[in-house]
A = this chain, B = another copy of it.
Amino acid sequence: MGSTPDGPIWHGAMRERNLAILLRAIATNQPVSRAQLASLTGLAKTTVSNLVTVLADAGIVRDGQLLHEGERGRPGVAVTINSDAAAGLGLEINVKYLAACVLDLGRRVRYRHMVALDNRGRAPEAVVASLAQIVDSAKAAVAEQGLSIAGAVVAVPGVLNWAGTVHAPNLGWSEVPIASLLSEVVPPLRLPIELDNEANLAALGELWFGLGPEAGDFVHVSGETGIGSGIVVDRQVFRGAHGFAGELGHVTVEPEGSVCACGGRGCLEGIAGQEAILRAAGLGEAARGDGSGDPRPAMAVLVEQLQVGDPAALAAVERAGRALGLAVSGAAKLLDPDTVVLGGIFAPLGLWVRPVVEEELRRSALHGSSPRVAVSPVAAESAVLGAAGKVIELVHADPALLLR
Contact = CB atoms under 8 A, between A and B. Distances in A.
26 contacts: A159-B366, A167-B367, A217-B241, A229-B334, A233-B238, A240-B337, A241-B338, A242-B336, A242-B338, A242-B367, A244-B367, A246-B334, A247-B333, A247-B334, A248-B334, A250-B364, A250-B366, A251-B329, A251-B333, A252-B330, A252-B364, A253-B255, A265-B364, A330-B334, A331-B334, A334-B334
B326 A240 contact: no
A207 to B, nearest CB: 14
A335 interface: yes
Interface of A: 1, 42, 159, 167, 216-217, 229, 231, 233, 238-248, 250-255, 260, 262-265, 267, 326-327, 329-331, 333-338, 363-367, 369
B241 A326 contact: no
A195 B255 CA distance: 37
A251 B338 CA distance: 18
Q: How many copies does the complex hold?
A: 2
A231 B334 contact: yes
A367 B159 contact: yes
Contacts of A241: 216-217, 336-338
Contacts of A247: 333-334, 336, 366
Nearest to A4: B42
A251 B334 CA distance: 8
The 9 closest A-B pairs by CB, nearest first: A240-B336, A264-B364, A247-B333, A245-B336, A244-B336, A217-B241, A251-B330, A241-B338, A263-B364
Nearest to A322: B255
A363 B159 contact: no
Nearest to A216: B241
Given A264-B363, A363-B263, A364-B250, A42 B1 contact: yes
A260 B336 contact: no
A262 B334 contact: no
Contacts of A253: 255
A137 B229 CA distance: 51
A255 B255 CA distance: 8
A369 B337 CA distance: 27
A240 B335 contact: yes
Count chain B CB atoms within 10 A of each CB in A167, A217, A244 and give the residue with the most.
A244
Nearest to A218: B241
A321 to B, nearest CB: 14
Given A241-B338, A244-B333, A334-B334, 12 more contacts: A240-B335, A241-B337, A242-B367, A246-B334, A247-B334, A248-B334, A250-B364, A254-B255, A262-B364, A263-B365, A264-B364, A331-B334
